[in-house]
Amino acid sequence: MVVSAIDNGTVIDHIPVQNVFQVVRLLGLDHCDEQVLFGTNLDSQKYGKKGIIKVHNKFFEREDINKIALIAPTATLIVINNFKVVEKKRVEVPDQVLKVVKCVNPNCVTNVENVPTKFKVINKEEVKLRCHYCEKITDKRNMGFR
């Protein structure tokens, strides 16, 4: 299967196949007015199988795109302008994560009152987040999204 090229926009490549839909949701692409193409279980020389997302006419803030590093650390971000690649980068785990991740602690104020979550990333390799409010650690194994 060939996923057609886009003239302007963003391509997120090398997404682990099991995380494609999570990435779609994390970036709010399920509520996006632009054309969005995505594929999964595509052949990858590097990883065997991969997922890919192409978003027409949309360019993400660095901070937004780095959120996906939490679930798809292998992902590559490609910015396309007039069919040309103008930027190609691996995503990076950010220092701070706002709003998107749910705190693992059910008794945390962010799960009880109307309070947006805020985490400090205390370990980038293992993706460990310390809640700014209840100080409990949410990690990859128990990470949920709001």
Instruction: State which of residues 4, 45, 82, 107 lies at the interface with other proteins (CB under 8 A).
Output: 107
Phi first, then psi, for residue 132 (nearest 5°) are -65, -30
Instruction: State which of residues 61, 113, 141, 144 lies at the interface with other proteins (CB under 8 A).
Output: 113
Number of residues that bind other proteins (CB under 8 A): 16
| Interaction between residue 137 and other proteins (CB under 8 A) | yes
- Tell me which residues in 77-106 interact with other proteins (CB under 8 A): 105
Q: Which of 39, 58, 59, 60 is closest to 50 using CA atoms?
A: 39
Structure tokens at 105: 């602690």
Instruction: Return the CA Rg of the chain.
Output: 16
| Interaction between residue 112 and other proteins (CB under 8 A) | yes
| Interaction between residue 136 and other proteins (CB under 8 A) | yes
Structure tokens at 76: 């590559």
Element (H, E) at 59: none
Structure tokens at 20: 């494609």
DSSP state of 75: -
Whose structure tokens read 């205390």? 122
Instruction: State which of residues 84, 114, 125, 141 lies at the interface with other proteins (CB under 8 A).
Output: 114
Shortest distance in whole angstroms from residue 91 CB to other proteins = 26
Binding-site ranges for other proteins (CB under 8 A): 105, 107-110, 112-115, 131-137
